Structure 1
């Protein structure tokens, strides 16, 4: 029998994160394109980001038929937050800059690349990237490499750069509570055995 679930954050009712989810305004719009395999993941950080940002939209799928419309909201220029040799490092908006529609694929690296492969319009977008050296707070999963962040962490870091000095740290509150809850559920001994000192490898 499945446990009762919050219809908003999709967490078990006893572990609902909604009281911790902020309601943040941003100049930037965020479009999260989530691979279906991520929807029921215990750490669905894209959903947390979408709930906490007033200008965020979460769309689940592999092929997005309405992509031309999604990528062209009036008054915004779309950029794909995804690594590439020609990706431009994000910089703070200059006065008069048109705000960005930040397009963020959500899934494992393999699944995210599949989304790009299946949606040529997505793959054709100019790409932007975060500064190197970011350290994830995601202590439950070994990062595939340095600078690998969860979806919500990547969005927070991107917005902090684009809209400095505005802080988007409150968006990480439910994420951190989620991590703490998962660690508590597995027990300290199991956590230490599997994740060492808690730092990502």
Structure 2
């Protein structure tokens, strides 16, 4: 018999993170396109981002038939958060500029690239990327490359830059509690041996 889970954070009820989730409003609208293979992942940081932001939406799939409608919102300028040759660093948005629709593919690098391939409209969006050298708090996973962040960390860092001086670090509270809980469950000795 499956364990009862929270309908919001999708964690087992005994490990529900909802009390740690801050509902933050943002000028930037965030659209997270999650590859289906990530949806059941124990450390689903995209779900935590969507729960923590009032102006965010999480879509799960490989192909999004209504993507053109989502990107055509006249109140927003769409940007893809994904590295590329012409990608720019996020910088503070001025009040007179239209707010951004930040489109964030969620999955392994391979799966995120597949989302772009399956949804060609994404390839044509101007891109934002984060600077090299950022350090992930995701202490349980070996990053495929230096500076790789979880989806939640990347969204938090991007919003901190776009909407400065406002900060969105409160989004990371359930993420940090989740990681601390995983480390406690495996024991400090096992954690140090495998991840320390």
The TM-score normalised by the length of structure 2 is 0.98
Contact (CA 8 Å) 1:77, 1:98: kept in 2 or not?
yes
The CA deviation string for residues 29-58 of structure 1, in whole angstroms up to 9 with x for no partner, is 000000000010000000000000000000
SS at the partner of 2:30? strand
How far apart are residue 19 of structure 1 and its match?
A: 0.3
Number of the residue aligned with 1:105? 105
Question: Where does 1:1-201 land on structure 2 (aligned, <5 Å)?
Answer: 1-196=1-196
Q: CA deviation at 1:72?
A: 2.0
Which consecutive unaligned segments of at least 5 residues does structure 1 have?
197-201
Runs of 4+ that moved beyond 6 A: none
Q: What does the per-residue CA deviation read over 1:100-143, in whole Å, with 9 as the maximum and x for residues that have no partner? A: 00000000000000000111001111111112221100000011
1:92–1:161 CA contact under 8 A, matched in 2: yes
Does structure 2 retain, via aligned residues, the 8 Å contact 1:90–1:131?
Answer: no
TM-superposed CA distance for 1:95, in Å, is 3.5
Output the CA distance in 1 between the equivalents of 2:194 and 2:49: 27
- Unaligned runs of 5+ residues in structure 2 are none
Shift of 1:74: 2.8
Residues matched between the structures, number: 196
Q: Distance in 1 between matches of 2:112 and 2:83?
A: 11
Across the aligned residues of Structure 1 and Structure 2, the Cα RMSD in angstroms comes to 0.8
Shift of residue 147, structure 1, vs aligned partner: 1.3
TM-score by length of 1: 0.95
